[in-house]
Structure 1
Amino acid sequence: MVPLIPHPSHPPLAVRAVEAEVIFPKPGLAMARYRIDGIAELVVPEFSGRGRQDELWQTTCFELFAKNDDGTYREFNFATSGRWAIYDFDGYRAGMRDFDPTAIPEIVAQSGDRLLTVNVTLSAQDLAGFTMAGFSVVLEEQGGQKSFWALAHTGEKPDFHNAACFTARLEAPAPP
């Protein structure tokens, strides 16, 4: 797992660390995994059924960005509520449109006293051809305090679409 860092202008209350990764556990499957340490104040949306929903970033949300060499990219948003959204972009915040996944993402969240883990199972086909990844997380804590976590940050405001956030190599296997 790779560590994410909070945007300096939006510090967390109790969250101490956030990590993320993509693995390919078996042919045809991909898994985006997130681990949050320090969840005492974290707002965790309760499961409300699997389905597409926009604006998940308004509360605790887990994101994966996958980018092609030509600058096009795909944004995946996941919530512990079971809701998800996936968008394709032609370039930086341009040409946004819904992407229909090969298989509906399956989101599983488990928490203990200190840790929250979120595992999202996806079709590896939906990541095929992408070479770079960006991981980001929006965490809402009690009182509406939000922190914005990513591999890197530039600028005064959080911007997960910024090219600086796409720093992880994505070695997606070819579809079966």
Structure 2
Amino acid sequence: MRRALTRHPTTPCPAVETIEVEAGRTSRGGLALRYRLRGVLADLIVPGPAVPARMDGLWEHTCFEAFVSFGGDGYLEFNVAPSGRWAAYRFEGYRKGMAPFETDPPRIEVEAGASQLDVRVDLALPEAGPVRLGLTAVIEAADGGLSYWALAHPPGPPDFHRAETRVLAL
């Protein structure tokens, strides 16, 4: 299923034309995600390849995210940078009870050109049942400004943790 992310209206980013996402389940019950950014990559800060490792604070720079709920108040947050660095967290409720989510490292594949960035990610999930997804991106412009992209934005400032952002059912 392919969908477009929309930019939060308070966070301009003229270098990005579109960000499309695709999401599906893997044969092992995980998630297969693809983020495709089109625009002028030279006007963005895109982290270069690094040793794949878990790392906090990825959302402070260009990264792609998935917020996953299985029903109830709890949810998972996954952050993936084009560098190959990643993070995974578990929450008990809205921004409550944050803890590292112990999981296998995601498989991350990145292809970059002058006008397109493709990031493919396979994530392991603790359950194989239905999920609701909020697929998002934080994009850093060359001037250091951040723009926030999501399938849905609730009213107010950008906030990917709100349940209203998890609009995709798989």
Same fold (TM over 0.5): yes
The separation in 2 between residues aligned to 1:12 and 1:130, in whole angstroms, is 34
Preserved CA contact (<8 Å) 1:39 1:116: no
CA deviation profile, 1:15-51 (whole Å, cap 9, x unmatched): 0111112223544553211010103312110111111
Specify whether residues 77 and 127 from structure 1 end up closer, same or farther in structure 2 by C-alpha distance, changes over 3 A only.
Answer: farther
Matches within 5 A, 1:59-98: 59-98=61-100
The separation in 2 between residues aligned to 1:22 and 1:168, in whole angstroms, is 9
CA deviation profile, 1:104-147 (whole Å, cap 9, x unmatched): 11211101221110001223x44533521000000001111211
Determine whether 1:132 maps to 2:132: yes
Q: 2:145 matched to which residue of 1? A: 145
Unaligned runs of 5+ in 1: 171-176
Unaligned runs of 5+ in 2: none
- Write the letter of the residue equivalent to 1:38: G
The separation in 2 between residues aligned to 1:143 and 1:80, in whole angstroms, is 19
SS at structure 1 position matched to 2:5: strand
- Write the letter of the residue equivalent to 1:115: Q
**For structure 1, which segment, 65-74 or 21-30, has the greater mean C-alpha deviation from structure 2 after superposition?**
21-30
Q: TM-score, normalised by structure 2?
A: 0.91
The separation in 1 between residues aligned to 2:33 and 2:21, in whole angstroms, is 7
The separation in 1 between residues aligned to 2:40 and 2:70, in whole angstroms, is 34
Preserved CA contact (<8 Å) 2:30 2:128: no
Specify whether residues 38 and 12 from structure 1 end up closer, same or farther in structure 2 by C-alpha distance, changes over 3 A only.
Answer: same
Preserved CA contact (<8 Å) 2:29 2:127: no
Aligned residues between the structures: 168
Q: TM-score, normalised by structure 1?
A: 0.89
Preserved CA contact (<8 Å) 1:66 1:127: no
Q: Please tell me the root mean square deviation across aligned C-alpha atoms, in Å.
A: 1.6
